[in-house]
Every structure is written in structure tokens, then in C-alpha cells.
Amino acid sequence: MSNTIGNNLLHQSLLYPTVLEHQGRINSPTCIGGNTFFQAQATSLTQKSSISTEFLGNRLKVRRHKLKMGKCCSSSRSTRAVLAADLSSGLTEKFNLYQNVELQVDVELPPSGSTSVVNIQVTSGIDSLLLHWGAIKSHTKKWILPHHRPVGTMVYMDQALRSPFEKSGSNAVLRIEIDDPSIQALEFLVFDEAQNKWYKYNGGNFRVKLPKRESRFPNVSIPEELVQVQAYLRWERNGKQNYSPEKEKEEFEAARRELLEEISRGASIQDLRTKLTGKKDTSESKEQLVSGSKSSIPEDLVQIQSFIRWERAGKPNYSPEQQLKEFEEARKELQVELDKGASLDEIRKRITKGGTQAKVSKQPEKKNYSTGERIQRKKRDIMSLLSKFDSVPVEEKISSEPPVLSAIKQFAMEKEDHIDGPIVNKKIYKLADKELLVLVAKSSGKTKVYLATDLPEPVVLHWALSKIPGEWTAPPSTMLPLDSVSLDKAAETKLAIISTDNQPDKVQSLEITIEDDSFVGMPFVLLSGEKWLKNGGSDFYVELNTGSVKKKDAGDGKGTSKSLLDKIADLESEAQKSFMHRFNIAADLMEQATNAGELGLAAIVVWMRYMATRQLIWNKNYNVKPREISQAQDRLTDLLQNVYKSSPQYREILRMIMSTVGRGGEGDVGQRIRDEILVIQRNNECKGGMMEEWHQKLHNNTSPDDVVICQALIDYIKNDFDISVYWKTLNDNGINKERLLSYDRAIHSEPNFRREQRDGLLRDLGHYMRTLKAVHSGADLESAIANCMGYRAEGQGFMVGVNINPVSGLPSGFPELLQFVLTHIEDKQVESLLEGLLEAREELRPSLSRPSDRLKDLIFLDIALDSAVRTAVERGYEELNNASPEKIMYFISLVVENLALSVDNNEDLIYCLKGWNQALSMKKSGDGNWALFAKSVLDRTRLSLTSKSESYNQLLQPSAEYLGAQLGVDQSAVSIFTEEIIRAGSAASLSSLLNRLDPVLRQTANLGSWQVISPIEAIGYVVVVDQLLSVQNNSYSKPTILVAKSVRGEEEIPDGVVAVLTPDMPDVLSHVSVRARNSKVCFATCFDPNILASIQANEGKLLCLKPTSADVVYSEMTDDELLSSTNSKDVSSTPSLTLVKKKFAGKYAISSEEFTNDMVGAKSRNIANLKGKLPSWVNIPTSVALPFGVFETVLSDDLNKDVASKLDILKRDLDEGNVSALGEIRNTVLELSAPPQLIKELKEKMQKSGMPWPGDEGAQRWEQAWIAIKKVWASKWNERAYFSTRKVKLDHDYLCMAVLVQEIINADYAFVIHTTNPSSEDSSEIYAEVVKGLGETLVGAYPGRALSFICKKSDLNSPQVLGYPSKPIGLFIKQSIIFRSDSNGEDLEGYAGAGLYDSVPMDEEDKVVLDYSSDALINDSKFRHEILSSIARAGSAIEELYGSAQDIEGVVKDGKIYVVQTRPQM
């Protein structure tokens, strides 16, 4: 799109001029493109001059509203708190607001006496307090709004100010400075916005009297041109806002006071002039000043003469220094005329009436930034971006009772069951409280139309047939049902009453058979009694050949707001009449959607997006005015804005809805769509052809397609009237000839303009584009900026004018920042543009969290800026082709920042951003590990994107599928619904950047394309699956190489699988990795998507894999080679394993000294064996155990007879193949009661061992411990363990479970050691992995990689980091007890039983999103070296003790090493 439109919009919004006409139009508003020195002074010229006193921009239209509670102007003044301030000293007063909350007010007067300061403090930590306030001048009760305001202050309905308190410790404080000596008092109330609660003083306002101040200003006259420049500088500081006349006067006087204050402090006029212009006066300028002061030329004439000079010069933008110079030159010109004998009256008459006719016609050219220019980004605390909410999904309860169907719906259902052909159309229309069914089906080569209604009066169908959509043609007599009457262009047929046994309401129905396929539709109306019934004022119209719409089964609606989606489906026939209907219906449903939470709002997202992507009908047989569409949009977006304010946890999904809906606007904006096209036609003499067809379409029903059509016309004209360009723009945006013909007012013709119409059409269509976008394109950047910055479009004749005021309270310098963005929006080199876009979003962000009646305009602007980032990044791919890694990483950091600004619960993204900044810093400082660290951040960022994608899919896809089935949406659009939403955001751009950087980092860090976890040669047939988890219980008859897109880390390897290849990143020491090595299965991660894709392309073929420690070589083989290969194995063979059933030894609890092979498993025995045999710096936690047989003894206790009987039944079901019984068995185990003797013995053993007894903290704590013990026993029947034992033919009844009881160490880090490197099988080096928090994130199904390192046993003080951590989650727990599984089936030779069963802490772990940027293990090389060396030394000592390779688990707390278990490495 041409940037010309953006330039015009920008100037109209940032520097909007008002018209200056010197033709006797007294008091007309004026301004010159930002050069305010040409404006009249507020005091002297309002009556003398035609130049008004407006400082800059449009007059504000103030709406008057009655004040609600808390609007202090209407509060009773009979009772108010009055604080009188003494001039010489400050004064403090305290008031009690409620309970223990106090309000303290301090008034102080600085020594200069120029400014009063009011400090207000509330002794409360409430974050949502606002001061609702105004100022009082003499002889008036009305509040005035001081121009000097605290940061964050918002104007409330133009009648009061609202300033947020700031947190100061446990208090809320606010400081107000008053520099206007005419203000005598402040009045205020305190408002708790979150609670909607007002705090008053005895029902009235608090009132603070300010000290009376004697004027300290000397009796000096400040030259008006200096006041003008000072006012200009103030205007710039305040963000170049558009001021009302009253506000302009305040600004001029405030500027004057500021200069007088400097004079009072000793500055001279000359000093002020030097300061404001940046230069000292030359002798020549001094002479001019003297000359000017001696002459009596009124300042208003100098102003006008300056304006005339500015027009003659081409209306340039002047700096303050140039403005002063222009003033003096104008004064000199007038002085020359006086010297020649002209009088002041003659001069005034000449320059204000006939001498010059000055009109502002074009905007001054905007500042031309050089392509190398960059904005200076502010330094901010990244954590200020944090947006974190507890997600509480509301799942709608689906009633098991079938819904009660109406008579018509029951009729439709029965009729559909008896139709033998496809149903091509089905509609149920609402007729007040009655219904009309129209059902079209194909049967035996004929078209059948079924109509039915429950109207009580006799009904006559007045109908016709159409060969052209919408036309009325009399049906052939051969097609008329019995008793029909043939008319001129129609027929009339009575509906017959049918009897139904199960419906109390009578139904009238009719069946029409149409044998001629040339008819495409059937228009009709109904005559009920003596009343004609239409479809909302239009004829009913039924399409006869729309293709089969037999609905796909919508399912049960699980995971959706089903009742809301059903209502949407019922209302769709009404919604498709027009955008007005659709938006009004959506607005009506917003309350129900909000009450349903995320799922309700997801329903609205899905519906609106199906609309936006043209999956639903936009307009059908209904004429609507553009004004009505924009009003409906305005109503809907107002409601969305309100939910955005009140429910911040839904802001991300609300942004999704708003991105599919135009901004709308009050009537004037929408009406201009209708009016302005007529002006374009009239101005450019193009009233026929395509323009007239488009005009009719616009009048009938405007839509977002009109934005595309307008752009296509502009592109066509710009490209020398090349019609192919017109069609290309249309087609690129989804509009083809068929779509143009499908409108109710079809567009048949192509544009055909004359060359002399070119300039006028480009000008007018450019302006028209703004109007179209203002209604339809809320997320369009140019339109969004214009709506926030303000613009005005003048009316012409009948055409209404539009005046959009700027949003108040925007940050200083924000307009210039947006101007920078629009200037560079089409740059090919996008880095500086991205910085500008991100800076604009960062500056805008605080305003999105503050109350504002224009909040939706700010949201649309933020959505547009977000979208512009994605577009810029995609355009910048070429720029990155040969870019350095630093540049790619910097681009990634910008896109991560953009994504963090767009989503809720962004903590993980923020830590990713900190990681990228740290990686850049490491690269710049020459750190040799920068690429290794950056790879870990890249992996984590990918995981974050995957997590966000999964959350979108979980939230949106069920609703998309359910509603899509209800509305007959094309299945291809349904299946990729969530995927397309993700692709439309910056997440897709970020993923592309990560893919670009990944191979660079791998090459730099010498990581290769593979990480080989289990280096076993394998031959097998390739099978591709999505998840290893989904096939873990399968059994493959042939040797199989599984290529699994997802591997979580705790799955089983299926029978018959010889290799698992994945792009996922399970830890080398995770359960699945250990089981792969124990089972002699090749297991490897492939980082290169191209290599993995080439392996996937061999699906079904036989491959040979030959892994090394860092690579996998593969080649294709034949079946004959498989048979002769020694690598092939009998996939049906399984190891021969037996279990020895353990017996109860008579003790419910034992200490570690009693651990024997008959009492506990290897886990407990090994940890007991370590005591006293390791160096003193290796700590071993205290342990006790519930030995083998305790579970069976508890089950046989009389307390648990019913539980035992229930378990016997369930286990028989399981033996018969009902695996669903596993979950019921686990739940039944949790019903066990603890025998008193068990409690007694366990308490004694724990206390004697120095462990805390949970029961000492209360009965509830013991109950928690007992539940944890039962969960360990119940894990014998988890699916993974059960199928694993069945595969190796272990007798599941012989599996016994002891429970190891240990005190949990609240770990800083957890580690797992393999004393022989499992990837290379090198026994000379130790391999270990470390995670923050508890070790479950390392061995369980937690995504991301741990920190990994190796250490040569010959040099245990030289650990080498192989990879930095990428796990986003850490588990932390308070001091507690853990109950660990210790079965007799975990350490059998040749069987990977470790990790199959559960260890359960008494208390739940806290999941913490990890910030590695503050982790000493990452940032402190000395600390890292000490910890990793200590871990390696502990591993070496334990291996030496046992004499064999060991698999060791432990933790680090306060730098100390604790070993919690060890077992032989397998």
C-alpha cells in the first residue's frame, strides 16, 4: 500500500491545522502546521483579530453528563473537610477513611513561593486507589482542571481529574504541585477502582485550602513572541495534544508565568531570548528589537504578516529560532510601510480583508528521516512486562438429558431421517415466537423443497422460481402442488396441517418437487391469516444448489461453552443478513460469553474469525446503511473494551476478537462511507460503470471487501491504468470475479477511467480509504494511529464532517514516535523500524492498563503495531541472509519482546528474552560458550512457542470443530483453525528466525545434527508417529524404527522397536533414555529438520542405522539383507525373568539398620549401605521404610474387608483384558484405612531416626502422609508399569512394593550421575545432568534439557559443560517427607524397571518458571566449577565403593552435596 495515505493521515492526526481565512471570518479557528507562533495571543486579539486564540488543533466537543456518585462538583458542600494552609509553614491534617486506614494531607510551600505542593498519603497497600479531584478558583464552585498534573493522570469526562496513587512501602502516596496562583483550593474524593468504592468526608468532598501567595513577579512585560515560543515548547513536552480554546489560554498564561518566574530569579529578557533560541543576539537583532519596541505596531498585525510570509515561503516547518526570526522580519516589513507613510488602519485593512486570501490547502511536508536514522530506546526493567494470571478454566457441564425440541425441529429431524439423498440446504427462521423450516434435498435426480411452520393461522405460500438469483419467475404448471393457483410471476399454495402424536403444537407443511436443474433458487413470502410475513423486510430466498451441507457430527461439545455455541448456531441465519445483525447479536451474547469465562470468549473468537475469513455469509437479502454497521461495531467494541478493563485475565483472547472486528464508530464515520462515494463520483465525473455498481454495493451493505476494492482501484490507477494490477490486488486478498458477482448488488464491470481523472481519483480514493478503514480495519496501522492522534474530515454539501479528538494522556513524544514508524514502515532494512514499533508498544503499554473511555482505540493501535512487527520481520528475512549471528539474535530478541507484549501469562517468554540479552552480552564480551548458551535459550524459546500453541489448540480447537460442524464450515478451514491463528501472529515469525539461527549455533558450538542417547546399531522398517506415548503399548511384528515427533521422557519403548528417532529433547538420563539403553534400542535426537524429513520420507522402507557418539549414518537395505544380517533379532523373544514373592516379616516399619534383601528393595539397601563409607562432605539423608508385605497385610485387615473384595473383582476384570480397570484399582487402593499398629510403629521408627512425625502437626498432616503412602502402593497398577511387566512376562501378583521414607531436602539443584558416559560408553569419564529444584523435572515428563557435563575421572576438577539448561519449569517444596517406591522388580538384570513406579511427596511441589539470568550456576563460573566438580567427585567415590558403574541421584543445598539413591548403571 502506498505510504502517501499514511503521510496524510499522520499530519492530520499529529499536526492538524484549522483553516485561516482573512475574509472577515471573525474568530475562525486557526493554526499553522505546528508553528504556533503565528497564533494570536489569548488576551489581546480575541476581539480585534480574525485569528483565533486556539493554540493547536481542534476545538473539543464536550459532552455534558450528569455526575454519578463521586463526581465532586455535585457533592454537598455543607460538610467537607477543610484544611487551611498557612503561608509561612506547611500543615498536616489526618482523617480516618475506614477501620485503620488513614488519609494524611500535607501542604507545603517551597521557599520560592511559586508552587504549592500537596502531599496525600493513604495508609493502605491497596493498588487500585485513585484521587478524583479538581481545583477551585475565586467566585466559582465549578472545578477547573490544572494543567500541571501527576504522572498517569486521566481526564474524567472533561469534569474532573483522576490520578493514581503510587505504592510507597505499605502506603499509597500522591504528590500534586499547583503553580497557578489563582487556584485557591483543591477538592477531592478517594476512589477504590477495584472495589468501585468511594471515600468521602461526611458525604461530601475533602477540601484543601492553598496558601495565599503574593505575586513575586516583577512588573516586566515579556515579549509576546517569547511567550509564544515558550508555549510551543510546553506543547511539545505535553505530546503535541489538540487543545480547546480554554486550554490554550491556560497554556499561554502558564508559559507567561514560567518566564516571569525566571525573571523573578534574576534572568533578563536577553537571557530568556538566548535560552529559547539557543543563540545570543547579534547587534543587528538588538537594533531590530529596539526598532520594534519603539514602533507601536500591534502584535496581532505582526502575527498576520508572519502568516503571510509563511504562506509565501511554502508553509515550511519552522524551528523556534526561525519563528523568532520570522516575527522580526514581519515586524521590519510593517515598519517599512509605516516609514513610507502608511497608517496602521490602512495596513490592517489591507492584510485582513483584500490584500491576501490565505487558505491552508496542503499539510507541510513531514520531517524526512534518513534511512540510517534510529530511535533511542529507553532502558526498562524487563520484568515490568510481566503479565501473570492464575488460569481457572470454566468447563461447561454438559447435561445428559436430551434437549426438548420444538415442533418444527422435531419435524425436521424426522424428515431428515426419511430422506434418502443429500440435504443441500436447511434453514429454520424465527417468526416471533414461532418457526419456519425450509429443507432442500436431492432425491432420485430431483430437487425437493420441504416447508413447515407452527404458525396457528392458515398459511399460504406465495412463491416463485429463479434462474438468476433473486428473480421472480412463475413455476411451470407441471411443478405446482395440488390446489395451487398460478399467478403472473408467482404461484400460491396452501400449507397442509399434519397431525403428530408426540407434539402438542400443530404443524403446517408443504412439499414441492422441482425437476428442472436450471432453477437456482426459490423466492417466497407467507400469508398467515391476513398478514404478509417476510424475512426482516425482505423476501425469503432459498438456494437450491448449494452443495451438500449434511452436517458432520458436532460431537458432545466437551471442552467448549456448548450452550453458547448452540445459541450462536441458532442465530446464524439471522446474523448472516448483514454485519449490523452479526455485530449486534455478538454484543447481545457478550454477557453470557464473559460469564462463561475463557470458553465463552473462545466461542466468540471462533464465530468472529469464521466470519472474518469469509467462511460465513456476510450479507443476504438485507439492505443496511454503513452508519448502522459502524454503530453496531461500536456497540460491540465498547463491550469488549469494558471486559478488557474489568477482566484483565482475558485480555489476550479479547485482542483476538477485536482483531477480527473493525473499530466501528459513531454514526458520522459510517455515514461518510455512503456519502463520500457520491462526492468521488461527482468530483471526478465517473458516475457510471464499475463506480456506480460499487456505489450501489456500498449503499446496500458495505463490508471489509470494500477496503480491498478501494486499494485495487488505487493500484490500478498508479500503475498506468493496468487492469491486471486491479485483478492482482483483488485476487491476492481473496476476491475473485465470482465473489464480486455474489454481492446483493453485484459488481459486473471493470474500472475504466480517463487519464485526466488520475490525480483527482488518487486524492479522493486515498481519503476514502481512511474512511473505509476507520470502520472496517481496526487493526490497520494508519487508521489506528489516526483514531488515536485525532483527525478531522470536513463535510462537503450534504456530506457530514467527522471530528475525531485525540486520545488524552498519551506519553510525551509519542506522536513523534508514531511519525517515525510511519516514515519507515516500508523500509527494506527493517531493524530501525522494528525498534520503533517495539518502543511505541512499550510506551503505549501503561495506557492499556489505565481506565479510559477511548481504551479501545489504544487497543486497536497496539494490535496494529503488533501486526506491523510481524510484517516487518517477514520483509526483513532477506536482510538476514548473510547476517551475523548477533544480528539474528537481536532480531529474535525484538520478536520475543513483541510476543511478550501481546500475550497473557508471559513469564516464560520474559525469561527467554532475558536469556537472549544475556547471549548477546556473552557474544560481545568474547565468552567462548556463547553459542552453547544461546542454543539452550533457543531450545527454551521453541518450547515456549510449543506451549503457547498447545494452549491455543486446547482453548480454541474444540469450539472451532463444534461450531464448524453446526454451521457447515468447510472441514479444511476447521482442521487448521488454530494453526492459522498462530500463523497470523508473530509466533510464526519467531519460529522462522529460530530455524534460521539453529544450524549456525550448532556449527559454532560443535554440536552436530544429532545427540545420540543410546548408540546401538539397528535395522528396521520406518514408522512415523506423532507421539511415542500414543504407541507405547503397541507391539510391532517386524523390527521397527520409530520416528516420533514428541517424546516426553517417561514413556515405554514398544515391543518390536529397535530405534527411536525424534526432534524432541528428552534428557540423556530421563527414564525413557535409560530404558532405551537397557533394552539395547537405538535412541537419538535429530536437530536438523531436513535430515529428519529425509528419514521420514523413507516411511515403510527398511533402513540400517549406524550411530556414533555424535552422528547417525543411515542407509537403505533390502529384505534379504535383513534376513542375513546378524543385527536382526527375533522381535518376539523376550528375556526370561522371574520374581520372588516377598512375605510380611511382622514389622510395619523398620529403620535403615534393618534393611535386608527380604525386607526392602535395592533402592533402600543401597542408600543404607552408603552411610559412613563416603567422604564427610557427601551427605546421606536419614531413611526408614515400610517393608515388603505391609500393603498386603493392610489389605487383609478387617478394617479393609470391603476394599479387598472390591479389589478382587477389579483384578479379575483386569485379568480378563479390561485395562480400564487399572484406574479403578488405583482409586480403590486409596480407600484403605491404616491399622493403628502401622501408625504406632512408623511413628516410633521415624522419631528414633530423628525424622519429624507428620502427626505432630495435626491429624490432617498424618492423613496427607497416609495418602502419599497409598499412592506409592497404587502405582503398582499404573499403565506404564503394568504393560512393562506384561511384556517381559513377569507375574504381576508377585511384584511387591516397599516404601522408602526420607526427609525431603529443599534442594537448590538436583542431579543424576552415570559414572560411565552412556552416550559414548566411555568408562573413563563421568556424565551428569543438573536441574534447578527437585529432580523430578530431570527424570520425568518435563520438557527441556538439563545442564549437562562430563568429567574425566583422571581430572575430577575439570568438568566440561556440554549443554546449558533449557527447562522452563523447576519444582520446589518446603521441608517435607517423601515416600519412594522400592519394588522387587526395579533392578532385575536385563530389565529396565527403574522409574516405573511413583515416589510421592507428602506436600505438593510448587511449579516455578525459571529465570536462568539470575542463576549462579549459569553466571558464576567459579561457583559452577565448584558444584560440578563436587558432583563428579561424589560419583567417583560411590563407584569406587561399589566397584561398578553407578546410576546416582542427589541434590545440592547451600553448596552441600546430598546423595538420595544409587543403583548399578545399566
Annotated catalytic sites, by residue?
1071
Closest by alpha carbon to 1327, among 941, 1117, 1014? 1014
Question: Which residues are within 8 A (CB) of 363 and not within 5 positions of it... i.e. 6 or more apart?
Answer: 8, 11, 12, 15, 17, 33
Reduced to 3 states (helix: H, G, I; strand: E, B; else coil), residue 931 is helix
Report the C-alpha gap between 229 and 34 in whole angstroms.
Answer: 12
H helix and E strand count, the chain: 43, 46
Query: H-helix or E-strand containing 862?
Result: helix 855-875
Largest CA distance in the chain: 129
Strands (E), 138-254: 154-156, 160-164, 166-168, 171-178, 183-192, 197-199, 204-209
Instruction: Count CA within 13 A, CB hemisphere, residue 1321.
Output: 9
Q: 3-class secondary structure for 638-697?
A: HHHHHHHHHCHHHHHHHHHHHHHCCCCCCHHHHHHHHHHHHHHHHHHCCCCHHHHHHHHH
Cα dihedral value 419, 423, 429, 434, nearest 10: 10
CA distances (Å), origin 290, targets 222, 275, 285: 14, 19, 9
Burial 4-13, CB ≥16 within 10 A → b, else e: ebbbbbbbbb
Rg (CA), the chain: 40
CA distances (Å), origin 1407, targets 903, 912, 1311, 1368: 20, 17, 18, 10
* Amino acid residing at 1442: Y
Reduced to 3 states (helix: H, G, I; strand: E, B; else coil), residue 65 is coil
1389, with CB counted inside 10 A (0-12, 13-18, 19+), is: exposed
Report the C-alpha gap between 165 and 141 in whole angstroms.
Answer: 26
Report the C-alpha gap between 1306 and 1111 in whole angstroms.
Answer: 39
Reduced to 3 states (helix: H, G, I; strand: E, B; else coil), residue 368 is coil
Question: Which residues are within 8 A (CB) of 925 and not within 5 positions of it... i.e. 6 or more apart?
Answer: none
For residues 626 and 637, the answer to whether their CB atoms sit within 8 Å is no
Report the C-alpha gap between 1023 and 640 in whole angstroms.
Answer: 48
Report the C-alpha gap between 256 and 221 in whole angstroms.
Answer: 10
Report the C-alpha gap between 585 and 574 in whole angstroms.
Answer: 9
Question: Which residues are within 8 A (CB) of 418 and not within 5 positions of it... i.e. 6 or more apart?
Answer: none
Alpha-helix residue ranges (DSSP H) falling in 968-1118: 971-975, 977-983, 986-1004, 1071-1078, 1089-1096
Please spell the DSSP secondary structure of 105-170, one letter per residue. Answer: EEEE--TT-S-EEEEEEES---TTEEEEEEEEETT--S-B--S---TT-EEETTTEEEEE-EEETT
Report the C-alpha gap between 834 and 869 in whole angstroms.
Answer: 6
Report the C-alpha gap between 303 and 37 in whole angstroms.
Answer: 8
Report the C-alpha gap between 759 and 777 in whole angstroms.
Answer: 25
Reduced to 3 states (helix: H, G, I; strand: E, B; else coil), residue 1121 is helix
Rounded to a whole number of angstroms, the distance between the first and last alpha carbons of the chain is: 65
DSSP 8-state assignment for residue 221: P
Strands (E), 604-648: none
